[in-house]
Amino acid sequence: MAAFVASKWSKVGPPLLDNLRSSRLLEPFGKFQDIASPGWNGLLFQQLRTFIQMRTKLKVVDNSGAKWVRCIQALKGRKGARLGDTIIASVQEAQPRGKVKKGEVVYGVVVRAAMQRGRCDGSEIRFDDNAVVLVNKQGEPIGTRVLGPVPHELRRKKHLKILTLAEHIA
Amino acid sequence: MRLEKCWFCSSTVYPGHGIQFVRNDAKIFRFCRSKCHKNFKMKRNPRKVKWTKAFRRLHGKDMTQDSTFEFERKRNRPERYNRNVTMETLKAIKKIDKIRVAREARHHTMRMKGKKGMEQKAAARELEQDISLVKAPLALREKSSLTLSKIKVKASQPQAEYPMEE
């Protein structure tokens, strides 16, 4: 019985299956298409993007000195943070002469999220990556420049300073 | 409120529909539905995907230059609201649409002109050459009514008949 099952699995290209299985285990929150569904080959790189939660790596897009941070806590939301929310993060990599150092615990505002967020007119918006702007406890940005596009949603959340520093508002 | 165009298929995106994707260089891509969005993620070129407007314009299936398109150009200046202007614009939109549809239909008929003649010629040639696919040549020799030969001969005179195999 075991030999029969093993022989069956060996027919289904072992290296491909191993890759799929191992990647499935590593990313419990990223969804891939079922192997059985037709055309899964082409759709393999279309992921279902989810919230920003603990251990999510985010790019820092201001000149506060940090390069990227890792989220420790999403301040609002049970499942995680979305576009426009504040998070607590730990600086993983920093530039040598910056306002923050590696290992510091900072607050940040999510300005770009790969997960789509619904707008009040019914459309949805999504960005290419997850990016954050470091702020202090009062919500004022630590840096003086913000790079890349930022969404309208910050206006609603009263992060007007970030909006004024932004070079493009999506 | 603004009616946008889908980046992939060029159809109008009405409010409440679609997804907009903002790339890191601040270029915004709007999609009318997930079909276009998924095709974009697959990195397909809309100029090569047959059902998009981009393909059809590029390959001459739909008309490209027309004065009715001038009315639809994007204007970035907000207009002060004037009720008369709004009513006139609404009437004008209907009229322009009618004209545009009529012109597109004309373009289509011009494109399809001569198709019927070509189809009939191809059918006649096929009947002449490939009738052996349908009926055996021996049967055709016996019943001359099944052939298209212009000379009507009796089956008892084999030398005057067209041989069906080329």
Question: Does the CB of B38 have a partner CB in chain A at under 8 Å?
Answer: yes
Please give the sequence-ordered ranges of beta strands (E in DSSP) within A63-136, or none if there are none.
66-74, 86-94, 105-112, 117-118, 124-127, 131-135
Q: Do A126 and B28 touch (CB under 8 A)?
A: no
Closest residue in A to B19 (Cα) is A124
Closest CA in chain A for residue B30 = A125
The DSSP line for A28-71 is TTS----TTSTTTTTTTT------B-TT-EEEE-BSSSEEEEEE
A46/B contact by beta carbon, under 8 A: yes
Q: Which distant-in-sequence residues (6+ apart) come within 8 Å of A129 by Cβ?
A: A59, A112, A114, B24
Q: What's the CA gap between B54 and B43, in Å, rounded?
A: 15
What ipTM does the predicted assembly reach? 0.71
Q: State pLDDT tens for residues B102-143.
A: 999 999 999 999 889 999 999 999 988 888 888 777 776 676
Query: What does the angle CA B104 – CA B55 – CA B44 come to, to the nearest 5 degrees?
Result: 150
Within 97-136 of A, beta carbons closer than 8 Å to B belong to 112, 116, 121-129
Q: Of A150, A147, A146, A144, which Cα lies nearest the Cα of A113? A: A150
Could A123 and B17 be called an inter-chain contact, meaning their C-beta atoms sit closer than 8 Å? yes
- Which of A7-21, A93-107, B69-83 has the highest mean predicted lDDT (pLDDT)? A93-107
pTM over 0.95: no
Q: What is the pLDDT of residue A11?
A: 47
Residues of B in contact with A121 (CB under 8 A): 1, 15-16
Gyration radius of chain A's alpha carbons: 20
pLDDT at A36 over 90: no
More confident residue, B137 or A102: A102
- Residue from A59, A124, A147, A154 to probe the interface with B (highest B Cβ count within 10 Å): A124
Residue of B nearest to A118 (CA): B19
pLDDT digits (tens, 9 = 90+) for A122-151: 999 999 999 999 999 998 999 999 999 999
Closest by alpha carbon to A150, among A163, A134, A137? A163
Contact across the interface for A123 and B21, Cβ inside 8 Å: no
What is the rounded CA–CA span in Å between residue A86 and residue A110? 6
